[in-house]
Structure 1
Amino acid sequence: MVDRVRDWKDEPDAARSSSRQAEEKPVDLGSVADEVKSAAHDLKSAAVDQGRQFFQGAKDQATGFADRRKDEAAQSVSDIATGLRETGRSFGERPSIQAFVESAADGLDQLAGGLRERSFGDLYDEAEAYARRSPAVVGAVALAAGFLLARFIKSSADELSAGSAARRAVVAERRRRPAAKV
């Protein structure tokens, strides 16, 4: 067997030119890695921008919803103030009580006006600043609100169970009575 060493002259022209191109253009792995890093960075930036846009849209919707509810709350507070004033008029023979009720109604009207004038963001910032200044007061109010909520839930549950016990008694009474023949 004779080993033959290939010479470029023996190869066809197409094979010779593709072999030379492969030899002439070595692949630079560093530049490929840089291109991949750049593409990944661009993809990450686009994803972050999309996330920010989504979050901003959700935040705008939530703020709009809160502003509408804030206006409804302001109207409710104003209605309570009106009712309090009407109730206060019944204390005509006791001017000190009438003055106290009128003062409370004025305070509620001021609260309603403040709710109407400020945006939800302003109210939130103000509440946050107050919570940072007086965390003990906020904690005590939260504790009291939790206690009142628990009492309300417990009393509602007691009323529901009393109502279901009454319904069970009515059903049992109907079963005990013989059916009236028509």
Structure 2
Amino acid sequence: MGAEPANQAADWKTLRGDVEGIADVAAERGRSFVEAARSHATNYIDQRKGDAARSVTDLATSVRESSKTFEAQPNIRAFFDSAADGLEHLGTSIEERSFSEFYEDAEAFARRAPVAVAVATFLTGFVVARFIKSTSAAPLNSTHPTSHRL
């Protein structure tokens, strides 16, 4: 009867060793998978950075065009022109740098100046909303007499 508990203890040790071995293999494969996915994503983004740079440059052009609506308000127009200059610089930076470098710089800037990031996000939303509004189709019943009551 004394040999049976010893055999069970040995079986549990063997089982635990097997499970630990499987866990180690799974963890290593998981790390390899994550690294491969990260590498694949970075390569994909680096390949598409030309498209991203063009999109940012197009947005800069739209912002610059939007600034023309503020001819009578030079301070607001200067602000939009400055934003357009910044976007053009960003487009050039995206084209010239790797995704990893750009991401690290953006992350560092967001840590240093969270208020600036929040303001930039708000202004970008404002500009995009103006752009969408200006390019949207006219309402179907715009000739209806009550449609101008807001």
Under a length normalisation based on structure 1, what TM-score does the superposition of the two structures give? 0.50
Match 2:126 to one of 129, 132, 147 = 147
Distance 1:133 1:75 in 2: 27
State whether structure 2 residue 137 is matched by structure 1 residue 159. Answer: yes
State whether structure 2 residue 32 is matched by structure 1 residue 44. Answer: no
Distance 2:121 2:10 in 1: 60
What fraction of aligned residue pairs are identical, expressed as a percent? 30
Calculate the aligned-residue CA RMSD, in Å. 3.8
Which 5+ residue runs of structure 1 have no aligned equivalent? 1-22, 85-100, 167-182
Judging changes above 3 Å, is the alpha-carbon distance between structure 1 residues 115 and 148 closer, same or farther for their aligned structure 2 residues? closer
Which 5+ residue runs of structure 2 have no aligned equivalent? 65-80, 143-150
Q: How far does residue 147 in structure 1 lie from its aligned partner after superposition?
A: 3.2
Q: Which amino acid aligns with 2:99?
A: F
Distance 1:58 1:141 in 2: 31
Q: How far does residue 111 in structure 1 lie from its aligned partner after superposition?
A: 5.1
Match 1:131 to one of 90, 95, 110 = 110
Q: Aligned to 1:159, what secondary structure does the other structure show?
A: coil
Match of 1:98 in 2: none
Match of 2:78 in 1: none
Judging changes above 3 Å, is the alpha-carbon distance between structure 1 residues 37 and 127 closer, same or farther for their aligned structure 2 residues? same
Under a length normalisation based on structure 2, what TM-score does the superposition of the two structures give? 0.58
State whether structure 2 residue 36 is matched by structure 1 residue 67. Answer: no
Distance 2:134 2:96 in 1: 37
